């Protein structure tokens, strides 16, 4: 429908990608059978301005293996247009023999995400890391 619109062209490409991303986000978010990370990944793939990187979201999905395989199967059977955006990754998710390979591949990203999450919880000043602990002395 959008492709047949008079607004389909280079000058409106950014706006159309935002519209496609919004539509995908809404469709996938309302399907409670899908893990929310797949909504985020699809939105990221369609919207260049999304606030997370594809690699970060893929790493988070790998953390959730094998719990997310059902979502991949639903994506494949009912949302093929979104599945086709990232076929190699989804094929690897479905292959149980690839779990270790995926974890190894995304290990650095997972560590970076863990540090980022830690910084969001404690702040960027690292006081919680460098502050020496005082020994407890019982009063007499």
pLDDT in tens, the chain (140 residues): 445 555 555 666 777 888 889 999 999 999 999 999 999 999 999 998 888 999 999 999 998 988 999 999 999 999 999 999 999 999 999 999 999 999 999 988 878 777 766 665 555 544 444 444 455 556 65
**Phi, psi of 7, deg, nearest 5:** -90, 0
What's the rounded Cα separation, in Å, for the pair 120 and 139?
A: 36
Nearest Cα to 59, choosing from 97, 100, 105?
Answer: 105
The C-alpha atoms of residue 109 and residue 115 are separated, in whole angstroms, by 10
Task: Give the per-residue pLDDT at 45.
Answer: 94
Model-wide pTM > 0.75? no
Cα separation of 18 and 34, whole Å? 21
Does the bond joining 66 to the residue before it have cis omega, within 30 degrees of 0?
yes
Residue 6: phi, psi to the nearest 5?
A: -70, -10
Q: Which two tokens stand for residue 47?
A: 């919207």
Domain range annotation of the chain: 10-123
- Whether the link from the prior residue into 31 is cis, omega within 30° of 0, is no
């Amino acid at each position: 429908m959008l492709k047949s619109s008079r607004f389909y062209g280079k000058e409106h490409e950014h706006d159309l990608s935002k519209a496609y991303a919004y539509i995908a986000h809404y469709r996938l978010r309302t399907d409670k059978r899908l893990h929310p990370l797949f909504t985020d990944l699809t939105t990221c793939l369609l919207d260049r301005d999304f606030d997370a990187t594809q690699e970060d979201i893929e790493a988070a999905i790998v953390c959730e293996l094998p719990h997310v395989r059902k979502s991949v199967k639903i994506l494949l059977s009912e949302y093929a247009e979104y599945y086709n955006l990232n076929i190699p990754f989804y094929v690897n998710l479905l292959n149980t023999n690839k779990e270790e390979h995926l974890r190894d591949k995304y290990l650095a990203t997972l560590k970076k995400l863990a540090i980022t999450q830690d910084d969001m919880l404690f702040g960027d000043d690292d006081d919680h890391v460098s502050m020496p602990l005082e020994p407890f002395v019982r009063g007499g």
